[in-house]
Structure 1
Amino acid sequence: MAELLWERGTTLGQGGFGVVSLASTSNALFHGVTLPSLIAVKSCIYSDSQSLKEEEEFLGMFKHSPCIIRCFGANLSFEDEVIIYNLLLEYASGGSLANRLRNCNSLPEFEVKKHTKNVLLGLSCIHTNGIIHCDIKPDNILLVGTEETAKIADFGLSMTFEQAVKEKQELMIRGTKRYMAPELVLNYDYGPHIDIWALGCTVYELITGTPLWDGDGDHVLHQIAFEKPKFQNSKLSKEAKDFLKRCLVKNPSSRWTADVLLNHPFLQNSSIVLVNTAKTRKKKSGSKSLLHKPIRKITFKFGNHKFVRQLPDLKEVENETCARVLGTDK
């Protein structure tokens, strides 16, 4: 059934979970919703799909939030004699804030304010529903549409408040080391407050162009646990420094919540940019399918299985995507 809904295109990224691909849909109808002409498909072998199934469940809770990446549902495909589980997601044509940071070294404060406000709105929705994201970082904040609306993505490590209690009892730790909160490193203490700490690390990195903590591995964990964050950077305004101090409080009970941070002076002059995705989804393009562009071979893995695909040339795909997003396609 999957091949009737979408066709797999170029690989956007891959990791331990599997692979994320760009896909064209011909505006197929799925679960009563018309899919956009371009979507992102997050895939893994069905036997290893528990994490993606949980992510689909989490995303289903936030389907009405304009600040969280949209999930259209999931389906199965049979590829190279292997059953693949596919999560159908909103495509972020602007990439991630990590991509933007690599290209620009640092972002102007007015842009960071705009993105931060959207992320806080997303976190407010997530925390209100009793969920902890557990992996807020520039890589998991995606820019969607021509307005480049910042949206939270990747709920692969997320958990409920109830699961957090069990995780602490089992002395389990999850997340990306550089963005972990001190209470998580020291006491395996999970809660909404760890997402706020991670947001503080993210905002600092976006404005200054450097991570809050230097080094990696256990050295970073030692810094997080026993050192105080330093905000002496000429790129940080007075309001930005104060905002960071409210996020990066060592004591989690003193850390500001997402709802309170939304009223911080740092964000008062920022504007929320929420893209009108309805028109984008209805727009049809007269251009050829991405999968009819010049092709190249690519190999990727799902677990121990290796796949070889004939995919559109990456440059051609990017040009086609830009044309569709900007409305310059003929």
Structure 2
Amino acid sequence: MGWRLGRLLGQGAFGRVYLAQSTELLGRRRAADVPYVAVKIALGPNSSTLHHEKTVYEEIGESRFILKFEGSDRIENQYCIVVEYAPRGTLNNLHRQRISEGRASCYAEMILKGLSRVHEHGWVHCDLKPDNILAFPSRNQAIDVRLKLSDFGRAKRRGVHSSALRGTLLYSSPESVQYGQHERPSDIWSLGCILYWLLTGSGLWDRYVHGNTQLLKTMIEGFDENMLVLPPYLSHKAKSFLKKCLRYDPARRWGVDALLQHPFVPSNW
């Protein structure tokens, strides 16, 4: 199947993502009736990363909380994967200041349900961050967007050793920075960083690092949860949830199932 590429949606270390429509469908329908997809094209020799991502999507399978994988293809001899288009953009685009606890708790539930799917199929995301959480319109009156996890290019199988840092430093756990250890608790740490940002309007490390990578690594490696300062305006439930995610020892961090039962996470909405 061929693709008519539209505007550039984003670019990362491994490829570019374009808005696209099927040329086959465009030949049979009006352009307005042909759905948009997102096509991620490998840059240079990076097709192995997209092949890996394809494998992860296929093994995880379909879920309401995982970006839908539409297939793979080649465009001008470059390998690409095709996924559904997220019209509301990324979580990072969606919010530039802190949000209400009610909204944040709904987001937490959707992200946790996506992580549950990833983890139960034997994978670790390894690069959970606002740019890799995509937003869609919601039909639920309680919340106006649905969130889905995306970008599995850095994902790894549970239990497979990886000595290198795989994710984005600002959302990386102490054990991943210090030892290259990436397992399910590392994803939970990343979730804690995301929720901290949503609930406070600033990143966990914003006031310390100022672009200094080495200082950031030192801060993460030496993180002391007893010195975690949470704003007084946060509720006890919100503070408790963050503390369960941001524990230094990965063995003491709560897992997905336990966090889904936490009082901060809504039971029905």
Q: TM-score range by the shorter chain?
A: 0.7 to 0.9
Post-superposition Cα deviations, 1:169-202, rounded to whole Å, max 9, x if no partner, equal xx31111111111111222222100000000000
Matched length: 252
Is 1:225 the equivalent of 2:227?
no
Cα contact 1:243–1:264 (8 A) shared by 2: yes
Counterpart pick for 1:97 among 86, 91, 102: 91
What is the CA–CA distance in structure 1 between the aligned matches of 2:204 and 2:258, rounded to whole Å?
A: 23
* Aligned-residue offset at 1:97: 1.0
Cα contact 1:27–1:36 (8 A) shared by 2: no
Q: Secondary structure at the match of 1:265?
A: coil
Superposition pairs of residues 60-209 of structure 1, within 5 angstroms: 60-78=58-76, 83-102=77-96, 105-147=97-139, 148-163=145-160, 165=161, 167=162, 171-209=163-201
What is the CA–CA distance in structure 2 between the aligned matches of 1:247 and 1:270, rounded to whole Å?
A: 22
Q: Which runs of 5+ in 2 are unaligned?
A: 27-32, 140-144
Q: Secondary structure at the match of 2:264?
A: helix
Post-superposition Cα deviations, 1:105-133, rounded to whole Å, max 9, x if no partner, equal 12222111111101101111111111010
Indicate the residue corresponding to 1:262 in structure 2.
260
Counterpart pick for 2:39 among 27, 30, 41: 41
Cα contact 2:174–2:223 (8 A) shared by 1: no
Is 1:10 the equivalent of 2:7?
yes
**Sequence identity percentage:** 35
Indicate the residue corresponding to 2:22 in structure 1.
25
Post-superposition Cα deviations, 1:190-220, rounded to whole Å, max 9, x if no partner, equal 2100000000000000111100112141211
Cα contact 2:99–2:198 (8 A) shared by 1: yes
Runs of 4+ in 1 over 4 A off after TM superposition: 26-29
Cα contact 2:159–2:183 (8 A) shared by 1: no
CA RMSD of the aligned region, Å? 2.0
What is the CA–CA distance in structure 1 between the aligned matches of 2:259 and 2:247, rounded to whole Å?
A: 13
**Which deviates more, 251-260 or 214-223?**
214-223
* Aligned-residue offset at 1:232: 2.3
Q: Which has the higher contact order (CA 8 A, sep 6+)?
A: 1
